[in-house]
């Protein structure tokens, strides 16, 4: 294989970072995918895309993982220059197999579509009455899902105003959405999407020589 970051580790990294980006109620969505990544999984579609590294570096015990955010000041194929809010610029290389994703945030029920795979906050499973949901993650649900959490993942079947019907792992469900519900959509992307001016969140290893080698780059869109 030769690639440092397997698809399994890419999924785990992506969802760990996403958990830190979205509000606490959606952290369950990230936790599920972390569990999925740790399980033995050799087939099926994934929601990640891999990038070719410019110059793959050998593993280094001296490397440590860091998270950075900012704007792409300049794209350079298999690398880019990241400009932090402080104005500091650093060149970031993409490791072989690095994951590139687009994270789009929108507000309101209209941001959902029939057929969307969704992950709901834990309150959707705990309440006996139809819950009011303030945040939803749109991403391919993981396998397997614990029985007590089966109502938290599913596929949207109908949208009527602020009420969403969906097929969960334990049958048909309905939830009410708040008027300003936050919809976080995760989609795969390629290196070509890393354009100058894009806001990004980067998970990278800083090697002993100071080089930043990215394992995950998330392009942040919306509010």
> What length is written for the chain?
223
- Whether 73 and 196 have beta carbons less than 8 Å apart is answered as yes
54: left (phi over 0), alpha (psi -120 to 50) or beta: alpha
Q: How many domains does the chain have?
A: 1
**Domain annotation covers residue 62:** yes
> How much is the pLDDT for 132?
83
**Domain annotation covers residue 216:** yes
> How much is the pLDDT for 151?
85
**Domain annotation covers residue 2:** no
**Domain annotation covers residue 1:** no
**Domain annotation covers residue 194:** yes
3-state helix, strand, coil in the chain (%, to 5): 20, 45, 35
Query: What's the pTM?
Result: 0.66
> How much is the pLDDT for 130?
66
Instruction: Annotate 115-126 with three-state secondary structure.
Output: CCEEECCCHHHH
> How much is the pLDDT for 85?
85
> How much is the pLDDT for 116?
95
> How much is the pLDDT for 158?
96
pLDDT mean for each 10 residues of the chain (223 residues): 41 42 40 38 38 45 78 92 92 91 91 93 64 86 74 92 90 90 91 94 88 91 75
**Domain annotation covers residue 138:** yes
> How much is the pLDDT for 92?
95
> How much is the pLDDT for 223?
63
Which residues form the domain of 105?
7-222
* Tokens coding 31: 């936790």
**Domain annotation covers residue 22:** yes
**Domain annotation covers residue 215:** yes
Exposure string of 131-158, with b = 16+ CB inside 10 Å and e = fewer, is bebbbbbbbbbbeebeeebbbbbbebee
């Amino acid at each position: 294989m030769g690639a440092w970051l397997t698809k399994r580790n890419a999924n785990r990294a992506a969802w760990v970072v996403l958990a830190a980006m979205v509000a606490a109620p959606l952290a369950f969505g990230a936790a599920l995918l972390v569990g999925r990544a740790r399980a033995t999984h050799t087939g099926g579609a994934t929601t990640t895309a891999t990038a070719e590294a410019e110059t793959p570096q050998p593993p280094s015990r001296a490397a440590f993982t860091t998270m950075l955010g900012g704007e792409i000041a300049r794209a350079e194929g298999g690398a880019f220059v990241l400009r932090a809010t402080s104005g500091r610029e650093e060149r970031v290389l993409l490791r072989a197999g690095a994951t590139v994703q687009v994270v789009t945030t929108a507000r309101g029920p209209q941001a959902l579509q029939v057929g969307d795979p969704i992950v709901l906050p834990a309150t959707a499973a705990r309440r006996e009455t139809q819950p009011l949901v303030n945040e939803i993650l749109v991403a391919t649900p993981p396998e397997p899902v614990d029985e007590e959490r089966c109502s938290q993942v599913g596929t949207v079947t109908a949208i009527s105003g602020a009420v969403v019907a969906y097929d969960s792992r334990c049958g048909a469900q309905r939830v009410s959405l708040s008027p300003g519900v936050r919809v976080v959509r995760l989609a795969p992307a390629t290196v070509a999407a890393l354009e100058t001016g894009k806001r990004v969140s980067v998970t990278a290893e800083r090697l002993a020589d100071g080089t930043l080698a990215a394992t995950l780059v998330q392009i942040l869109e919306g509010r």
